[in-house]
Amino acid sequence: MNFNGVLSYASTIFVSRVLPATTEGTTLSFLPLGKLNQSPQDAIIPFQILGGEAQVVQIMLKSQEKIIAKPGSMCFMSGSVEMENAYLPENEVGIWQWLFGKTITSIVLRNSGPSDGFVGIAAPYFARILPIDLAMFNGEILCQPDAFLCSVNDVKVSNIVDQRGRNVVASAEGFLRQKLSGQGLAFILAGGSVVQKNLEIGEVLAVDVSSIVAVTSTVNIQIKYNGPIRRTMFGGDNAVTALLTGPGIVFIQSLPFHRLSQRIARAVTSPNMRENPKFFIQIAVFFFLAYVVIVSSLILTDIQE
């Protein structure tokens, strides 16, 4: 996998200064934010990505620094860090999240102590955590809904709707996309293995629409239906393909969360159906009795009148 421009880079002088203890399977990174009015010591954000399939990112916080994270994602934190649940108007959240069952609040974790602290943010399911330095992507990147995990410093999370009819997919994930903008550091989630594709000008890449984790804003996206649209309405696998045209960068996941959840749901419900064929009979009897009760009540009402 190629993570050039995503996984961090740092001078060895910074590594020798803030290098914490690491273990096997740990990724230690330092991301400079490129702010000219800051010293090199203040411009870097040290963090660790721990684990394999269900990862945790540990972020170091200086005094009064804060992290914005998805509700329920905090795993551990130092004693000097305070957590609060807040509504952030700058993230432009509201009606769309409410309509599709999304939360409209975020958690703010702030190091209120005089010394350095740390926060551990965990993926809510089997997923890998990708650090995205927005300053290296011209301050903007588009990602799948619910891909955002947490952010440090200048990151704005907003949800956009593609107004072009051909790009509307028959699910919330098809037309409700997240846009991360700013010059800070964001962490996003990806299921399974992650592949980065660097597209040249005019280069076209076809990807299953659910396998796209994030794309840069320079990539042109067009939707192609593989067969009748009614197949998409009923959730057919690989029914919708995204045609991505460069230039730009694309991040692809091999196992989207909704695909994993569908497989688990089928594995759980199918054996129960086979082992209990009377299930359908019970449903039929229930609806028949409900019909009898409704008809009887209507007849009695007419007689009384």
- What's the first-to-final CA gap in the chain, in angstroms? 77
Question: Each residue of 74-109: pLDDT tens digit?
Answer: 999 999 999 998 877 655 555 656 665 566 778 999
* Geometric angle at alpha carbon 94, from 92 and 99, rounded to 5°: 140
For the 12-255 domain, the top CATH level (class) is alpha beta
Write the CA distances from 248 to 49, 168, 275, integer angstroms. Answer: 26, 22, 51
C-beta separation of 61 from 118 below 8 A: yes
Q: What does the alpha-carbon distance between residue 218 and residue 100 come to, in Å, rounded to a whole number?
A: 28
What is the 3-state secondary structure of 143-194?
ECCCCEEEEECCEEEEEEECCCHHHCCCCHHHHEEEEEEECCEEEEEECCCE
Which range has the worst mean pLDDT, 35-39, 67-71, 267-271?
Answer: 35-39
* pLDDT value, residue 198: 95
Is pTM, for the whole model, over 0.85? no
* pLDDT value, residue 38: 38
C-beta separation of 137 from 216 below 8 A: yes
Confidence class for position 21, pLDDT limits 50, 70, 90: very low
Mean pLDDT of 200-228: 86
Beta strands in 12-133 (DSSP E): 27-32, 44-50, 56-61, 66-69, 74-77, 81-86, 106-111, 117-122, 128-133
Domain ranges across the chain: 12-255, 264-304
C-beta separation of 41 from 17 below 8 A: yes
- Residue 19 pLDDT greater than 80, yes or no: no
Two tokens, residue 48: 């660790």
Question: Each residue of 238-266: pLDDT tens digit?
Answer: 577 888 998 999 999 988 887 777 777 77
| Mean of per-residue pLDDT scores for the chain | 74
Highest mean pLDDT among 30-39, 178-187, 222-231: 178-187
Confidence class for position 165, pLDDT limits 50, 70, 90: very low
Tell me the three state secondary structure of residue 195: strand
C-beta separation of 49 from 62 below 8 A: no
Question: Each residue of 30-60: pLDDT tens digit?
Answer: 444 333 333 344 457 789 999 888 899 999 9
Q: Which residue has the higher pLDDT, 191 or 7?
A: 191
Place of tokens 């998805």: 70
Beta carbons within 10 angstroms of residue 142's beta carbon: 20
* pLDDT value, residue 278: 64
Mean pLDDT of 8-28: 32
C-beta separation of 200 from 247 below 8 A: yes
Confidence class for position 284, pLDDT limits 50, 70, 90: confident
Place of tokens 């000008």: 201
